[in-house]
Chain A
Amino acid sequence: MTFLPFAHALVSRKDLPIPAWLFAWAASIVLIASFFALSAAWRKPQFEDERRRPLGERFSAVLTSVPVQVVCGAVAVFLLGFAIYAGLHGTEAPDRNFALTFLFVTCWLGFAFFSAIFGDVFRPFNPWRAVGRAVGGGFRTIAGQRPAHLPYPEWLGRWPAAIGLLATVWLEVVYGASGGVAVGLSPDAAGLAALLYSVYTLAMMAVFGTEEWCDRGEIFSVYFGMFGRLGLFGSRDGRLYRRRPLAATTNWASVPGSAAVVIASIASTSFDGAQEGAFKDPIENLFEWFANRGMELTSALRLTDTIFMLLTFAAVGAVYQLGVRGMRTVPGAPSFKQLRTGFAHTLIPIALAYLVAHYFSLFFFQEQAQFTYILSDPLGTGHTDLFGTVNGLVDYKALSANMIWYVQVAALVIGHVIGLMLAHDRALVYWPDYRKATASQYWMLAVMVAFTCFGLYLLSVANG
């Protein structure tokens, strides 16, 4: 998210008690200590069973009732429609237009953060699912039968969501950052993209069925649903339940393409963080190389950024594959494919950690704008004050630069320790002998240390 008013490198750190790189060393020591603690004390799998405890029947019935679902869906459809309208007809100033902050901060980050705590909160607020279900219900009433759908190809799995996730971030950080607009993605481009995506999603739902497409291909359902697996609550057969935190992640990656989704999440956040920091010089060099060969400047910049984004995706994927290959060398290991799928869920807390580390300050500051002047003047016309908050300001002093850094470090360390826990737990399923399980996890330890140091390096350069 590189548009200027949203830049996460808001302030630089001046007075850390120790150099930033020493935090990477300390984080690595924490991971190594956690690894040995897990090896010594964790000898039976703990997360394979969600241990569901149903919530109160009445409470569950109210929250999952048809009227509540209709209200949630209607609110979501209204807000999406309004965001598209604001994007297409509101001001071109990205920081004053409802569309950008709402779509790329409030929803994109908010649903991810809240899902990670409470479970999949996006599902009832998914506007396309609401429309799909309403149309499907109408069809059933009129035709007296369920609409016919094509069977979803098993091999396709979550690949449409993985590719879509990269495309969404590409739109924002590559297309937006090099589109000739002064400050990133223009609101009308965001509005048009949301409109086109709505048409595409509804078409896919018509072809494959609403729930099927939401489970596999719909970018945001899959993305937020992935983080929702970390959360405390779930639902099954119309009943809400509390579950053991993290346990629902263990079977998330059984669908093909799931590993690509979580790798795309880590890679896109990494690329966004590195674009203006660690990758700045190599990006400039390649851009100049293209430009010197006569390529039009905007195309050269977009091509360069696209190449680096794909390289980041390949690099993150390669680090994970190396870890899996390492595990494969331990006697009794299952197939490479099984290991690659079986450990993909261990990257979910890392994807969340990267998201928190890179964007929590952006979310904190930009939501102040969302609920003050943007809410009162959503089109940014300067003539509207719906709730009397149009003169509200963002309090940039509410978080100090050092506080942001400490939260970033904490997020990365906690995320990677949780990743290690999940990996150790899964290893105990594949290698019931805890010594072999521990031996297999040396490699995942290396992966976690690599991701932690890489993440801290990106942040230190971006903030520095």
Chain B
Amino acid sequence: MLPVAHVGHYLWTLYVIPILIVVGAIIRNTVAQRRLAREDAEEEVR
């Protein structure tokens, strides 16, 4: 039997993708903001 026959069992992954995109964007944004804050702090020290 082709593995494609069981593709229906993994349909839930299509519903998870938007959540992952949003969570990924938040994490990326948080990391970027922290890096900016750290760089600003280092700049002030210099």
Contact = CB atoms under 8 A, between A and B. Distances in A.
B26 A25 contact: no
A449 B12 contact: no
Interface in B1-35: 11-12, 14-19, 21-23, 25-26, 29-30, 33
A24 B26 contact: no
A28 interface: yes
Interface string A440-464: 0011011001100110110010000
Interface residues of B, number: 16
Given A28-B22, A32-B22, A446-B22, A456 B29 contact: no
A195 interface: no
Contacts, number: 42
A453 B26 contact: no
Contacts of A456: 15
Contacts of A446: 19, 22-23, 26
A21 B14 contact: yes
A443 B26 CA distance: 7
B3 to A, nearest CB: 18
Given A329-B30, A443-B26, A446-B26, A21 B19 contact: no
Interface of B: 11-12, 14-19, 21-23, 25-26, 29-30, 33
Given A24-B15, A326-B26, A453-B19, 19 more contacts: A21-B11, A21-B15, A24-B18, A28-B18, A28-B19, A32-B22, A329-B30, A439-B33, A443-B26, A446-B23, A446-B26, A449-B19, A450-B19, A453-B16, A453-B18, A454-B15, A456-B15, A457-B12, A460-B15
10 contacts: A21-B11, A24-B15, A329-B30, A442-B29, A443-B26, A446-B22, A453-B18, A454-B15, A457-B12, A457-B15
